[in-house]
Chain A
Amino acid sequence: MSATPTELPKWADVAVIPLINVAAAFVISGLVVTAIGEDPFNAVKLLIGGALGDLEGIGFTLYYATSFIFTGLAVAICFQAGLFNIGVDGQAYVAGLGAALVALHLGFLPGVLLAPACIVGAALFGAAFAAIPGYLQAKRDSHLVITTIMFNYIAAAMMGYLLVDVLRKQGQMNPETPGFPPGATMPQIKDLVAYLGWQWPDTPLNLSFVLALLCAYLMWLLIWRTRLGYEIRAVGANHVAAIYGGISPARITMITVLMSGALAGGLAVNVLLGEEHRLILQYTADFGFVGIAVALMGRGHPAGIVLAAILFGILYQGGAELAFDQPKITRDMIVLIQGLVVLFAGALEHMFRRPLALLLTRFQPPVPDAPAAERA
């Protein structure tokens, strides 16, 4: 088979390249840390130690990772269909409204039913908010990138109005809903392991983490093992061939965007049902945008997204610890490191491919003229 110079073996493509990209981001960050007069090795030690040094750190890291898995999957499923959903943040925000409305109005349900109902509410609202740009893309060819960016602003304005003027509890100053009833809660990992007699410190890590892993597995199954996934990939890889194959790109676009919006709702499940137990202004904290970086770094593959989400979780949790211990290194520094990871993993993805490919061919015995053997 003809190998172009940038074609890498699969293991190198999924493992080595992302590692090199992250390493490059860290090297440059290290230079910046040195420039402001701190010891970069100490900074790395604090960062890693803060994120993975003890069970508490790990709990927080995985809690953040859960959010990133959901938003990363939401972006990645659209990648598969050749679509770019920048509106995951807005969809997650509106999904929070769905979760809150169910929690506050169906509070009479027992906990076993209330929490799943909240999850469904979040997914439905997220999907419904994604449906409008999805429809415009599918039927009117309005570019999804543009419309979803706009819809983020619509979400922010609408939620601001609702939280300040409609949902806010009387006499309460903060723009947030009343607290959710006790049933509208994702079980805490701390409580779950306590059943097994184990100790886990008090962290926000909750069952959403397991739900996120399940979603990642189901997405893998959907994309690579079902007809719908086949059709999604066909539309993403070759629109014209898909039409030829009897697949309707408009239908696939609509379905994919709906699933993406529903996955964005996972953020509401993790943060609102798992930790905050009420809907607060700007609860998404731009996690929807980080999902784009996670999806890019995970190369659109669910397994890659889980790994990338954990890496970003480490950066978030470790970065917070670092900023706490080293006042000179602010949170902006962490944003910088994340930006560099995005730069190397996304924008400069091909920078290290060619050198690596050349390096690998050097260690491989040349295949005796493969094209000659293939010729019919």
Chain B
Amino acid sequence: MKVDAVPRPPAIELIGIDKRFGRVHANNNVNLKVERGLIHGIVGENGAGKSTLMSILYGFYEADSGEIRVNGEPVRIRSSREAISHGIGMVHQHFMLVQPLTVLENVMLGAEGGPLLAAGASEIRAKLAHLGREYGLEVDPDAVVGELSVGLQQRVEILKALVRGAEILVLDEPTAVLTPAEADQLFEMLKVLKSQDKTVIFITHKLREIMRLTDRVSVMRLGEMVADFETAKTSPPELADAMVGRKVILRVEKGQAHPGEIALEARDLVVKDDRGVTRVDGMSFVLRRGEIVGIAGVAGNGQSELLEALAGIRPLAGGEILVEGRVPPPELRTPKGMRKLGVFHVPEDRHRMGLVMPFQACESAMLGFHDDDVYGAGILFDRRAIAADTAEKMEHFDVRPRAPLLKTANFSGGNQQKIVLAREIERNPHVMLVGQPTRGVDIGAIEFIHKRIVALRDAGKAVLLVSVELDEIMALSDRILVVCGGRITGERLPETCNQQDLGLLMAGVSEREHAA
């Protein structure tokens, strides 16, 4: 620890914070010191206890033991109201905004200042104008929040905290929903706040952001605070090792791709979402055997609908899909039919779509293939065959614990994802549609999952990879298609492009403007 020359006490000091949920020790004797006027990063794998720690700080949970000090004073925080009264403001990953209300109304919510709105409204309008000038956080107070871009909505969240007098801002995975350009803007904003002596706690699992933005960084692993660095004196490999507790290879080792014949082709696909909004607006591409094609893009630009349409879940509003050069008959354009054609699907959201959480692992591990005779040829299931089949898949994919009868929900995120991957990959697909294969998965499992996807390609299968993690797209893909607003805005080869280039395409800057 370096000796701080500044005489004032740290903005936040957590001493010996301990929190258990039943048998899970979410925070184990955590100590954290955040100096005033700095940007302090907290990194750790999913489930390392970062969110629990921050929930304790803003009063969502109360710690079993331990002490919180704000500006050197011991405090007790039992609600978000108490947190904000101590100057702690939280910006959640999922915005807590009322979409049909205006910016002003959202900022006022919970701070109306009396039964009549007029007085409070003019006060907050003045505050917003002041904050806009001082920090460069201009937002039209009368704009409807639902019509603002995601980046501006996040700005409203930050304004909400500042209007309430926050001196310490906690941001939980703030860049997950942003384009690279919007993330840059956010970082500039946070630097301005820092220059005004505000304190920022920045939670992320992206090491690149930590290196770029923060002054200090603390690393959490398995509920403990395992390391604390001055950012300038550390490096991504060092941080990654601290997060995982062992050496990690951040690069994926893969050889040359040998693309073969066309396995899947999309021609002028048009797909609408449940509300009838066109989400995929004329996409055409081919997918060959023995290659991984990555679809890069900010979440919500048609990737989900594209995957669901290819998998037979969502009907096409236009265009056609060819499997092995033929348009499948309508009765096969169903999830069951596409599986029959060898088009398998690892859905983006395993909780919502890929697994049935209350089911036993072995029941989840046959979803979609449950009609197969190996699970019992007669009326009744062969329970022993089902469990044996799952045990074998768990063995191959190193799912822990190896308990086919355990409830799906009781596995960690990484192991749940391995169950989904094992179910699809072990069935020998021709075409593998993979959505967000490592979302919410810890680094150790990411490495494993990436290796399996590459192995699938090397076995001559066609893989379509959808991910919002640019690093993942660049590491795995043999070709990259960038989508924005339901259209393909460009195609790149991973070895000849960089993140800025992809970022521009993801933001919708078309090929021609781009070249100009």
Residues on A facing B (Cβ under 8 Å) = 1-5, 7, 221, 225-227, 230-231, 233-234, 237-238, 240-246, 357, 361, 366-367, 369-376
Contact = CB atoms under 8 A, between A and B. Distances in A.
A244 B354 contact: yes
B22 A4 contact: yes
Contacts of A372: 222
B367 A244 contact: yes
B22 A237 contact: no
Interface stretch (B110-118, B188-196, B203-211, B345-353): B345-353
A367 B47 CA distance: 18
Interface stretch (B179-187, B404-412, B491-499, B500-508): B404-412
B277 interface: no
A241 B380 contact: no
A241 B24 CA distance: 28
B212 to A, nearest CB: 28
Contacts of A231: 370
Nearest to A224: B381
Nearest to B28: A369
A240 B383 CA distance: 25
22 contacts: A7-B22, A221-B380, A226-B380, A230-B370, A233-B356, A237-B357, A237-B359, A241-B354, A241-B367, A242-B356, A244-B345, A244-B347, A361-B22, A361-B23, A367-B23, A369-B25, A371-B24, A374-B401, A375-B442, A375-B444, A376-B398, A376-B399
Given A221-B380, A237-B356, A366-B23, A245 B414 contact: no
B367 A234 contact: yes
A238 B356 contact: yes
Q: Is the interface of A mostly helix, strand, loop or mixed?
A: helix
Contacts of B353: 238, 240-241, 244
Interface of B: 21-25, 47, 222, 311, 313, 334-336, 339, 345, 347, 352-359, 363, 367-368, 370-371, 379-381, 383, 398-401, 403, 406, 410-412, 414-415, 418, 442, 444-445, 448
Given A241-B367, A375-B442, A226 B379 contact: yes
B410 A227 contact: no
Contacts of A233: 356, 359
Contacts of A366: 23
Contacts of A369: 25, 222
Given A226-B380, A244-B347, A376 B415 contact: yes
A244 B442 CA distance: 25
Contacts of A4: 21-22
Contacts of B358: 237
Given A244-B347, A246-B334, A374-B412, 14 more contacts: A2-B22, A2-B23, A2-B412, A226-B380, A226-B381, A230-B370, A234-B367, A238-B352, A238-B355, A241-B367, A370-B24, A373-B400, A374-B401, A375-B444
B52 to A, nearest CB: 12
